[in-house]
Amino acid sequence: MSVPQALLAAWLEVGQALDGLLQSGLDVEPAGGSTAAWDATCARWKVARLGEDARFAAAREAKQTRGAPRPEFLACLAAVTAASEATVKAAGAGLTAAQAAAALGTLRTFLDGARAHFEAKSTERAKKMFGHAMKAAKEHRYDVAWRPHALSCRTCGAPRVSDGFTCAFCGGPLDDAQNLHVK
């Protein structure tokens, strides 16, 4: 089964529209603010802008940490959805009913994924600078209980060569308090 070139071009157009929408929507800092790119995106999709107080209130209500206000983004996404459905329907004119339904179903899944991606990224908490180090430090990473041990055997002076608590050469203990000898 070959896919018509017009349908491939339509999918490319949809992907570019979503990429531009997500990029400009997520690049807005602080949350609920505005950038020139977001203003251009809203103008392209003919979306009415919220007032400044309403923009920041909407971002606070949605618990956003960055990005354009959620209502504006969803309005732009609705416009992209309508345009994308029209584009895919026109490009897939030669498809059977089942193929056209599958193409539109895939398109809706794609658009829902874009919405979910925006919502996840716009509410994502910033990671602290030492977050990974603190988490790793709090985890217990030792298999055996701590016991005092030597780096070398006090009996024969051989270095410790295994994780065991006996000397590999003479069999002497490496973990008693009297045997703590470091060369």
Give which of 100, 120, 96, 119 is closest to 108, Cα–Cα. 100
Taking residues 1-6, what's their average pLDDT? 67
Three-class DSSP category at 151: coil
Give pLDDT tens digits for 52-75: 899 999 999 999 989 999 999 999
| The token pair that represents 103 in the structure block | 């193409």
- As a whole number, the mean pLDDT across the chain is 83
pTM of the predicted protein model: 0.65
Tens of pLDDT, residue by residue over 70-119, are 999 999 999 999 998 888 888 877 788 888 888 889 888 989 999 999 99
pLDDT at position 183: 47
What whole-number distance in Å separates Cα of residue 80 and Cα of residue 111? 9
Give the whole-angstrom CA distance, residue 64 versus residue 120.
9
Q: Is the pLDDT of residue 140 over 80?
A: no
H/E element holding 63?
Answer: none
